[in-house]
C-alpha cells in the first residue's frame, strides 16, 4: 500500500480502502476502514497522494508525543555493559498530498491498524501520558507486518557500575526518524545513568541497505512526524526523553 498514487486511483489492503476520483470539477478523497468513513474534497490538479508510515502518535488524536514500549520479559544488564536488541513499535499510515515534484507536502489523513492504548509513566501527580506498546525482545531483526509494526534497533548502554533491571523504555516522538525499505525501521539508544534514570533518543541513519523509492527519500522524512506539526505550535524540539522514574 505504501507508495505514490496519481489520481484517479483506488487501492485496498488489510481492510483499508483509499481512493480518489473526479466528480465534476472536484477531486474526492475517500478512506474506509471498519466503521471509519473519511471523505474530503481536493481542489487543484496535478497533485498526487503519498501513502507512507508515520510515527504512532496521531491517532485517535494528538494526545501525547511520548511512546512507552513495555518489554514482554524483563532484561538484566551488567554494569558497564553495552548491548544491542531489537523491538517492535506501532506505526500509523499517513496519507499526504503533494505537487508532482513533491513540493508543498501536506498531511491529508492518518489511520492505524493497531489497537490504541495509553498509560502513565511516573507518579500520578506529575507523570506523563504515553502511547503504550508491548514488544518481545529479539536478538535478530524480526519480520513484522509493515502496515502495523516497525522494527527498532535499540542500543542499551549501562554507564553505572551496577546491574540494572529494564522492563520498559520511553521515547519522545519528536526525534523519531522512520525509514521504509520493505520493513519500517529506526535506530534508537538508551543510556542508563544509574539504577533509576536513563536518557533515550534516536539515531538519524537507517539500519542498513538502500532505501527504496517508496520510502519517500525524496523529501524530508521528518515532515511526516507527529512532532513536526505539533512542534510548529510549540516552538521547540525535545528530541530526547529523560527517564527519571525508573525503567
pLDDT digits (tens, 9 = 90+) for 42-57: 887 788 899 999 988 8
69 within a domain of the structure (yes/no): yes
pLDDT band at residue 238 using 50, 70 and 90 as cut-offs: low
Q: Would the pLDDT of 61 be above 90?
A: no
**Domain ranges, residue 238:** 54-91+113-243
Q: Answer yes or no: are the C-beta atoms of 229 and 107 closer than 8 Å.
A: yes
* Domains of the chain: total: 1
Pairing of strands 128-135, 66-77: parallel
23 within a domain of the structure (yes/no): no
74 within a domain of the structure (yes/no): yes
Q: 44: which residues sit within 8 A by CB, 6+ positions away?
A: 27
16 within a domain of the structure (yes/no): no
87 within a domain of the structure (yes/no): yes
40 within a domain of the structure (yes/no): no
Average pLDDT of the chain to the nearest whole number:
84
Q: Answer yes or no: are the C-beta atoms of 84 and 50 closer than 8 Å.
A: no
Q: Would the pLDDT of 107 be above 50?
A: yes
Q: Answer yes or no: are the C-beta atoms of 88 and 152 closer than 8 Å.
A: yes
187 within a domain of the structure (yes/no): yes
173 within a domain of the structure (yes/no): yes
Pairing of strands 198-203, 241-243: antiparallel
- Cβ–Cβ contacts within 10 Å for residue 122, how many? 15
Q: Answer yes or no: are the C-beta atoms of 147 and 136 closer than 8 Å.
A: no
Amino acid at each position: 500500500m505504501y507508495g505514490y498514487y496519481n489520481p484517479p486511483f483506488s487501492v485496498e489492503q488489510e481492510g483499508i480502502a483509499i481512493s480518489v476520483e473526479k466528480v465534476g470539477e472536484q477531486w474526492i478523497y475517500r478512506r474506509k476502514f471498519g466503521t471509519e468513513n473519511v471523505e474530503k474534497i481536493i481542489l487543484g490538479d496535478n497533485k498526487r497522494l503519498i501513502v507512507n508510515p508515520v510515527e504512532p502518535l496521531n491517532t485517535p488524536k494528538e494526545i501525547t508525543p511520548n511512546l512507552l514500549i513495555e518489554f514482554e520479559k524483563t532484561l538484566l544488564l551488567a554494569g558497564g555493559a553495552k548491548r544491542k536488541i531489537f523491538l517492535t513499535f506501532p506505526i500509523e499510515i499517513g496519507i499526504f498530498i503533494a505537487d508532482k515534484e513533491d513540493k508543498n507536502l501536506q498531511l491529508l489523513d492518518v489511520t492505524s491498524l493497531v489497537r490504541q492504548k495509553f498509560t502513565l509513566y511516573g507518579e500520578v501527580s506529575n507523570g506523563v501520558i504515553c502511547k503504550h506498546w508491548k514488544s518481545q525482545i529479539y536478538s535478530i531483526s524480526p519480520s513484522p507486518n509493515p502496515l502495523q509494526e516497525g522494527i527498532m534497533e535499540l542500543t542499551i548502554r549501562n554507564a553505572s557500575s551496577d546491574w540494572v533491571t529494564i522492563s520498559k523504555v520511553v521515547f519522545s516522538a519528536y526525534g523519531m526518524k522512520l525509514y521504509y525499505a520493505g520493513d519500517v525501521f529506526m535506530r534508537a539508544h538508551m543510556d542508563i545513568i544509574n539504577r533509576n534514570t536513563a536518557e533515550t533518543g534516536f539515531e538519524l541513519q537507517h539500519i542498513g541497505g538502500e532505501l527504496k523509492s517508496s520510502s519517500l527519500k525524496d523529501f524530508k522524512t521528518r515532515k511526516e512526524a507527529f512532532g513536526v506539526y505539533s512542534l510548529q505550535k510549540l516552538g521547540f524540539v525535545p528530541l530526547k526523553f529523560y527517564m527519571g522514574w525508573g525503567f
